[in-house]
Amino acid sequence: MPLLNQREFKADPWTFLDTSEPVPSGGDIVVPFERLVSDFKTLMLHDGQLGVAFPNNLPVTELEPYLQRLQLVTLDFPAFTDGRAYSQARELRTHFGFKGELRAAGNLLPDQLGFMQQVGFDYFEIADERFSLDAWLDAATSISLSYQPSFTSRSQMPISTARGLADTSAPDAEDWPEQPHYG
Amino acid sequence: MYRYDEFDARFVAERVSQFRSQTERRLSGELSEDEFKPLRLMNGLYLQLHAYMLRVAIPYGTLSSQQMRALADISEKYDRGYGHFTTRQNMQFNWIALEDTPAILEDLAKVEMHAIQTSGNCIRNVTADHWAGAAADELADPRPVAELIRQWSSLHPEFSFLPRKFKIAVTGAPNDRAAVKFHDIGLRLHLNEHGQRGWEVIAGGGQGRTPMVGVTVRDWLPEAELLGYLEAIIRVYNLFGRRDNKYKARIKILVHETGAEKFRDLVEEEYARKPGSGIEVDARELERIEAYFGGPNFEVLAMVQPEFEQDKLRGREFARWVRANVSAHQMPGYAIANISVKPVGGIPGDATAAQMRTIADIAERFGNDEIRVSHHQNLVLPHVRQSDLHEIWQVLQANGLGTANLGLIGDIISCPGLDYCALATARSIPVSQALSRRFSNPDRQAEIGPLRLNISGCINACGHHHVGHIGILGLEKKGVEFYQITLGGSSATDSAVGGVLGPGFSAEEVPDAIETIVDTYIALRMDKETFLQAYRRVGAGPFKEALYAAA
Amino acid sequence: MSETGKILTANRLNDGLVVFLSAANIWTRHINDAALAQEANAQSALAKRGEDFEAANIVTGAYLVGAERDDGEILPDHIRERIRAAGPSVHPGLLVENPHVSLR
């Protein structure tokens, strides 16, 4: 499945393991949250990067004990109308300062991409092959301004910044490291 | 009123192009109906019974003459020459083509209007006291804060796919005209002894199939924290609100099922993590918005206007209109003129293009260029000189807009019902028309006194029947419409949900039933007791007795 | 003599207006021109044609409606469908396509 990041489709370098597949000796792996919890003692020693696929019906506070070890969190959109992962992403980025890769998976559509970038997602698993790269990019860049502070997207300028107001009032945004930008 | 700066204008213009692209992708088949539906709803476009319906946002119910004329133009150019003012201070056009919608949104953008978030599972158009900035009892005009919320909530990246719709109302007056206890979030302004502004935050109110009065989550929230706190509430809702059943997905159900105390804890816990970082209300921004509102330039006038006092003696009809439709203004010599969009036998809230232009002309000439839409589906000229009222009334009279029934039984609130709405179970307009004719006598209406009569054509309660002093709910059984009556509701400061009286009535029986209820009230009222006061004193018993015992 | 059966209705995608599928497989604004399917097989064939037209992005929300044809005039079973066919009962004259559809 192609991965959208920095304006292009890329191959996914991570290996997803389900609850029972054996852990390879190295390489970057993603495991379901339940396995992260049950096998954490082993997984934390894994020789490679570690990621988790986290469901959208649990509070992200449950991820807190593991975040130090995680380089990737995948959040789920079981249906594009189910917007819980937008809040989860925002909480991971702002409350817990998660700086790794934040990936959106599930039922993604081009017209939601802009919102996802604003709340902190930077990688997108594109399961739906109907849409061209241009369709994704055009939809995501159709609005160049935003009334809200934006965390990973440069394609949308916060209007408060444009008005010369919110230069400083967003400490979290300032702390925010340069993410691989999309816009 | 607020005027856009270059960024507001660019944002709306880009939103129009975005919708043009989305519409093209739908028409070409690139987007399926299921995928397109949330996108068009977030631009106020529904598919109704007869055609697409476009709901245009009128933020906090404030319009300029130019904007009203643009609505009139749209109704003629793209619709059938009329529009409908809704119970959420918006305007709906009933006969819209999908392929015309981008052009309509372009026309709206030219006058700083849009249809953003008038539908969909997102934060809806913010409503406010329709007398904001004018009412004599007001602490402060709540509209700058409403505008702040409008901007903050526009295309909110986190809150565009909520479990269900989310409505916010604000008031700056102690007398609640914005129904703040019946919104997902209601905000009420308070001033402390130092004159500082704080907001009472009420959450979890609503109507629909499970009407609930909202609970106060915070008594006093400093204004600077407002957006951060709203964000905390809506984040808790987005994460924990039910998504398994659309009828249990509103925040009121979350508050109810979680319990008010626990819900408050969840919000405070979330808020303590400082979700508001980056969105503290910047005092400079609020000042900028206030400045962009500009104020009406009031003249210094005497408290008593002899000309106006003379006018009232000139004829009974004008005096009656003044009594029913004119309200006290905060400035001496000024008045609030309420325009009833409820002529006898008319369709509540419907206005023709000609009527819209008439009102635009009057507002330009006499009313500081400002018009309001009330959630009672009426219009308001918030700032007029008392001495101009007679002339205003004459123009209104000549255009079918001079009905003197504000807040009386003829001022019926009604949703479009089954005549237009795809969700409705029964018609509501014909019932309201029959009732309006039955109680057409203005002397009788005055004798009955303040009475809110609300009609909804289905359980979703867009006609706000739960909060009508008398509420009528249209239902359907085996293809036949019937109507249930509730008594004792109120959306004002004394908020309450009405109780169902008993078995329903056919459409033909409704006027007699309502007349029986009214007659019962008149027979039992004491002194100057209003219908609601009398009902609260005696309960449903005498009304039930009168309606059902004889049968 | 009256016949009962089902007709296929939808809203046109481009303008949203109410349409009915005719025997000639053409969408019409006139309910009396609708094809009335009496047999179960004919009804499911009609429904299938609706799905095809939806897939082709010509109409949206196609569904079958119970109706009766009497002397060339088609009357849907349900009040909702009568209002869809005739236009709002409170705005006589707004829809001239089917002035004679009864709302009773």
Sign of the torsion angle spanned by Cα atoms B503, B508, B514, B517: negative
Q: Does the domain spanning B127-290 belong to CATH 3.30.413.10? A: yes
| pLDDT range class, residue B277, cuts 50, 70, 90 | low
Chains in contact with B via at least 3 Cβ–Cβ pairs below 8 Å: A, C
* B32-57 pLDDT tens trace: 999 999 999 999 999 999 999 999 99
Query: What per-residue confidence (pLDDT) applies to A128?
Result: 86
Tell me how far apart the alpha carbons of residues B9 and B15 are, in angstroms, rounded to a whole number: 10
Residues 38-77 of A with CB under 8 A from B: 59
ipTM, two decimals, is: 0.94
- CA of A169: which chain B residue's CA is closest? B278
Sort residue A101 into left (φ over 0), alpha (ψ -120 to 50) or beta: beta
- Res. C97: pLDDT tops 80: no
* B221-240 pLDDT tens trace: 999 999 999 999 999 999 99
Interchain proximity B97–C14, CB inside 8 Å: yes
Chains A and B touch (3+ CB pairs under 8 A): yes
Tell me how far apart the alpha carbons of residues B18 and B9 are, in angstroms, rounded to a whole number: 14
Residues 76-105 of A with CB under 8 A from B: 80-84, 86-88, 90-91, 94-95
Please tell me the least confidently modeled range out of A134-143, B325-334, B377-386.
Answer: A134-143
Closest CA to C75 of C96, C102, C93: C102
Whether B6-110 and B413-549 share one fold: the answer is no
* A39-83 pLDDT tens trace: 999 999 999 999 999 999 999 999 999 999 999 999 999 999 999
| Number of C-beta neighbours around residue B492 at 10 A | 16
Tell me how far apart the alpha carbons of residues B60 and B382 are, in angstroms, rounded to a whole number: 13
- Res. A33: pLDDT tops 70: yes
**Averaged pLDDT of chain C:** 89
- Average pLDDT for B272-281: 72
- CATH domain B306-398 topology: Sulfite Reductase Hemoprotein; domain 2 (3.90.480)
Query: What per-residue confidence (pLDDT) applies to A152?
Result: 55
- Res. B259: pLDDT tops 80: yes
Read off the tokens for B13.
């213009």
Tell me how far apart the alpha carbons of residues B420 and B95 are, in angstroms, rounded to a whole number: 10
- Helices B6-27 and A133-140 pack at an angle, to 10 degrees, of 150
- Res. B13: pLDDT tops 90: yes
Closest CA to B435 of B361, B503, B521, B518: B518
* C9-34 pLDDT tens trace: 999 999 999 999 999 999 999 999 99
In this structure, what DSSP letter does residue B124 have?
P
Read off the tokens for B24.
């093209």
Helix (H, G, I), strand (E, B) or coil at B42: coil
Burial of A123 (0-12, 13-18, 19+ CB in 10 A): buried
CA dist list (Å): B71 to A101, B13, B356, B376: 47, 18, 8, 19
Query: What per-residue confidence (pLDDT) applies to A6?
Result: 87
Closest CA to B150 of B8, B35, B269, B318: B8
The DSSP line for B139-202 is SS--HHHHHHHHHHHTT-SSSSS-SS-B-EEEE-SSS-SS-GGGSSEEEEEEE-TT--EEEEEE
The domains of chain B are located at 6-110, 127-290, 306-398, 413-549
Interchain proximity B238–A84, CB inside 8 Å: yes
Interchain proximity B239–A59, CB inside 8 Å: yes
% of residues, chain A, pLDDT over 70 = 86
- Does B479 touch chain C if contact means CB atoms closer than 8 Å? yes
Q: Which amino acid is at B152?
A: W
- Res. C104: pLDDT tops 80: no
- Does B104 touch chain C if contact means CB atoms closer than 8 Å? no
Query: What per-residue confidence (pLDDT) applies to B276?
Result: 52
**Averaged pLDDT of chain A:** 87
Tell me how far apart the alpha carbons of residues B528 and B513 are, in angstroms, rounded to a whole number: 23
* B418-434 pLDDT tens trace: 999 999 999 999 999 99
- Res. C72: pLDDT tops 60: yes
Residues 12-71 of C with CB under 8 A from B: 13-18, 54, 56-57, 60-61
- Res. A87: pLDDT tops 60: yes
* B430-484 pLDDT tens trace: 999 999 999 999 999 999 999 999 999 999 999 999 999 999 999 999 889 999 9
Tell me how far apart the alpha carbons of residues A124 and A97 are, in angstroms, rounded to a whole number: 20
For the CA atoms of A182, B152, B374, B9, what is the dihedral angle to 10 degrees?
-60
The domains of chain C are located at 2-86
| pLDDT range class, residue B280, cuts 50, 70, 90 | confident
Sign of the torsion angle spanned by Cα atoms B54, B57, B62, B68: negative
Read off the tokens for C21.
């599928």
Q: What ranges in B426-539 are assigned the alpha helix state H? A: 429-438, 442-448, 510-524, 531-538
Read off the tokens for B89.
């201070």
Chains C and A touch (3+ CB pairs under 8 A): no
- CA of A141: which chain B residue's CA is closest? B18
- CATH domain B6-110 topology: Sulfite Reductase Hemoprotein; domain 2 (3.90.480)
Provide CB contacts within 8 A for B265, sequence distance 6+: none
For the CA atoms of C12, C16, C19, C25, what is the dihedral angle to 10 degrees?
0
Cβ contacts of B151 on chain A, cutoff 8 Å: 147, 159
* A150-179 pLDDT tens trace: 665 556 788 888 888 654 334 343 333 333
* Architecture field, domain B413-549: 2-Layer Sandwich (3.30)
Chains in contact with C via at least 3 Cβ–Cβ pairs below 8 Å: B
**Averaged pLDDT of chain B:** 96
Cβ contacts of A59 on chain B, cutoff 8 Å: 239
CA dist list (Å): A172 to A67, A96, A177, B547, C68: 18, 11, 10, 64, 67
- Res. A30: pLDDT tops 70: yes
Tell me how far apart the alpha carbons of residues B302 and A4 are, in angstroms, rounded to a whole number: 69
Query: What per-residue confidence (pLDDT) applies to C100?
Result: 41
**Structural domains in chain A, sorted by start:** 3-143 (3.20.20.70)
Closest CA to B533 of B542, B525, B522: B525
Pairs of CB atoms within 8 A across A/B: 123
Q: Partners of B18 in the beta sheet?
A: none
CA dist list (Å): B359 to B54, B63, B108, B130: 22, 11, 18, 16
- Res. C96: pLDDT tops 70: no
Cβ contacts of A151 on chain B, cutoff 8 Å: none
| pLDDT range class, residue C94, cuts 50, 70, 90 | low
Cβ contacts of A54 on chain B, cutoff 8 Å: none
